[in-house]
Structure 1
Amino acid sequence: MSTSEATERRKRDAQKSGTRVGTYVYGIVPADVEVSADAGGGVGGPSAKVTVVRHGDIAALVSELRLDRPLGTPDDLMAHEGLLDATAAEVPVLPVRFGAVVTNPEAVVEELLAPHHDEFHAALDELEGRAQYVVKGRYVERAVLTEIMEEHPQLADLREQIKDQPEEATRDARIRIGEIVDQAVNAKREADTQAVLDAVTPVSTLTSLRDPSHELDAVHLAVLVETAREGELEQALGQIEERWSGRVELRLLGPLAAYDFIVAQGSGGG
């Protein structure tokens, strides 16, 4: 039985049982992309077979989705991003926002591919040979607090004031300590982010600052890089990592889909 025949059979079975089935959309890819017949693991679990809906020079990666199940679990998000990231390592892909569901494959063409064909095709051309990488750096807490104490001598005085004192009696001093530390971390984050930007910009096509995800984040940055220059990116970051040894824990994630640079608008609802 072919994939299309199996898909139609599942739809008929779902209709007989009264279950509504929609088409979940992951992203836009070139029309010549092929998906193996046993590709699964999409949103909805291992049985969610990923297929391709084509129109002209572009296509959409999709899978069936039962509409009687909740959408938005951590597993769903991981499946969505996992499929896109695996695809981005091989071919250009325009991510569609998580949660995009349309009525059926025909609606994918009518509502998404046909109206935006030229726009998506041009964007895929721009992404050819490129992928997103994310640079994450987190301060080693003891190291950064030692730096801040050395740079702000008044902290030692404030800490002495609150030593062995009731919390209520030292409220103002504690608030002041928190303010000084927060301001110092923010200033360091700004300077250290700029240092990473200076290092990666020469090998990047585009860069995008991300909001901190933790109070001790030193840098959180997305970069669009030619995959052939991944080694240069790693080398540039390696020099910073060596300089920051024991102070910042630095990680490079990727290749990933270009979430921070190009996201195709998908249809929502069911």
Structure 2
Amino acid sequence: MSTSNQSTDSPEEPRTSGVYVYGIVPADMEAEEDAVGVCDGPVTIVKHGGIAALVSEISVDRPLGKPEDLQAHAHLLDGTSRVAPVLPLRFGAVMTDEESVEKELLAAHADEFAAALQELEGRAQYVVKGRYVEQAILREVIDESEQAAQLLGAIRDQPEESTRDARMALGEIVSNAIVAKRDADTGKVLEALDSLSDSVNVREPTHEEEAAQVAVLVEVARQEELEKAVGELAEQWDGRVDMSLLGPLAAYDFVVTQKSEG
């Protein structure tokens, strides 16, 4: 029986490192000297023809998924989107080595990646978010619903245990009203952004008081126009909805490629 697998120079020793792939970029892009990725690994570029992959070496023994890993992944891609088109890979894309990145990822999907990068040239993702001001939206619902106003009057200054049913009924009315208002207000956001982008993705709400969350693909050169449009909405909804604009970001909502398996 062979025991060579215990030898220090055995060719069967398990590999301890892999190559983490962040995204696909044009081949003429250069990585910043101080750019770091997951585990603070230095970022390099693997090229194939006119496309390339942003990568860093990673230990395969270290599990991924810590908050700082996700932040490093997003930080690198979002920073890249400010200077070049980038096709983000899903978090956790690890391949065997740089040769496999070139042959199995870049060469295998060269035409697809090149076409997608061409579509993204000069554009980046932005996310427009709105969140209802709690007291303002509650007043609005009460003012618009006689039933809600009656229920509020019935429970005011009364013990919680004796008004549980009324409180639940009021909560349901408010919740349903916010859903309807969210739909209407999201429509107003889409209308405001219509001239700036034909690529939009309405995201599912992440909070019960969310008024809107819309991802848009916009020319980076038109960022000031986008900021103005969001600013006008914020002014229109002052005291009712708090508006925010995130970006430029990598185009996660529009062109995220599938996770590669190492």
Task: Return the TM-score normalized by structure 1.
Answer: 0.89
Instruction: Note the C-alpha offset of 1:172.
Output: 2.2
Is the counterpart of residue 260 in structure 1 residue 253 in structure 2?
Answer: yes
Match of 1:55 in 2: 48
Does structure 1 conserve the Cα–Cα contact (< 8 Å) formed by 2:155 and 2:166?
A: yes
| Counterpart pick for 1:44 among 32, 39, 48 | 39
Does structure 1 conserve the Cα–Cα contact (< 8 Å) formed by 2:143 and 2:149?
A: no
Does structure 2 conserve the Cα–Cα contact (< 8 Å) formed by 1:24 and 1:65?
A: yes
Q: How many residues were matched structurally?
A: 251
Deviates more, 1:130-139 or 1:160-169: 160-169
| Counterpart pick for 1:217 among 184, 197, 210 | 210
Match of 1:173 in 2: 166
1:126-153 residue CA offsets vs partner (Å, 9 max, x unmatched): 0000000000111111111111110012
Does structure 2 conserve the Cα–Cα contact (< 8 Å) formed by 1:19 and 1:66?
A: no
Alignment of 1:108-147 (within 5 A): 108-147=101-140
Match of 1:251 in 2: 244
Match of 1:204 in 2: 197
Instruction: Note the C-alpha offset of 1:18.
Output: 7.9
User: Equivalents in 1 of 2:154, 2:135: separation in Å?
Assistant: 21
Q: Secondary structure at the match of 1:144?
A: helix
Match of 1:28 in 2: 24
* Letter matched to residue 263 of structure 1: V
Does structure 1 conserve the Cα–Cα contact (< 8 Å) formed by 2:123 and 2:220?
A: yes
Is the counterpart of residue 157 in structure 1 residue 153 in structure 2?
Answer: no
* Letter matched to residue 106 of structure 2: L
Task: Return the TM-score normalized by structure 2.
Answer: 0.91
* Letter matched to residue 90 of structure 1: V
User: Equivalents in 1 of 2:173, 2:114: separation in Å?
Assistant: 50
User: Equivalents in 1 of 2:141, 2:256: separation in Å?
Assistant: 39
1:82-132 residue CA offsets vs partner (Å, 9 max, x unmatched): 000000000000000000001101111122111110000000000000000
Q: Secondary structure at the match of 1:189?
A: helix
Match of 2:5 in 1: none
From the superposition, tell whether residues 105 and 19 of structure 1 become closer, same or farther in structure 2 (CA, over 3 Å): closer
1:218-245 residue CA offsets vs partner (Å, 9 max, x unmatched): 1100000011111111111221111111
* Letter matched to residue 178 of structure 2: V
From the superposition, tell whether residues 104 and 229 of structure 1 become closer, same or farther in structure 2 (CA, over 3 Å): same
Match of 2:8 in 1: none
Does structure 1 conserve the Cα–Cα contact (< 8 Å) formed by 2:201 and 2:253?
A: yes
* Letter matched to residue 31 of structure 1: A
Q: Which runs of 5+ in 1 are unaligned?
A: 1-14
1:32-80 residue CA offsets vs partner (Å, 9 max, x unmatched): 11113x33420112xx000000011100000000112120111000000
From the superposition, tell whether residues 264 and 18 of structure 1 become closer, same or farther in structure 2 (CA, over 3 Å): closer
Segments of 4+ moved more than 4 angstroms: none
Q: Which runs of 5+ in 2 are unaligned?
A: 1-10
* Letter matched to residue 197 of structure 2: S
User: Equivalents in 2 of 1:263, 1:97: separation in Å?
Assistant: 6
Does structure 2 conserve the Cα–Cα contact (< 8 Å) formed by 1:53 and 1:62?
A: yes
